[in-house]
Amino acid sequence: MYWTLELASKLEDAPWPATKDELIDYATRSGAPLEVIENLQEIEDEGETYENIEDIWPDYPSSNEDFFFDEEEY
């Protein structure tokens, strides 16, 4: 399983909180790339509910971070 910023962004508008099956259903219905669905299927799941994308991919940049901008650079 691997996540990229582009793949994870396909789940930003998912109906959080959601279960693994709900996320797979959302990804399928929203036309997400096959890699997103495969990544979700690989999650070891015990029926838990995920509150946001950070629960699935802890390295996902939070909304208050600008992933591509370094303020100190300017």
pLDDT tens digits, 11-40: 989 999 999 999 999 999 999 999 999 999
Instruction: Say how many domains are in the chain.
Output: 1
Structural domain includes residue 67:
no
Structural domain includes residue 26:
yes
Structural domain includes residue 65:
no
Structural domain includes residue 74:
no
**41 beta partners:** none
Structural domain includes residue 41:
yes
**Is the pLDDT score of 66 beyond 70?**
no
**CA–CA separation, 69 and 30 (whole Å):** 29
Give the pTM: 0.80
**CA–CA separation, 48 and 35 (whole Å):** 22
**CA–CA separation, 25 and 20 (whole Å):** 9
Residue range(s) defining the domain that contains residue 13? 5-58
Distance of CA 54 to the CA centre of its chain: 7
Structural domain includes residue 64:
no
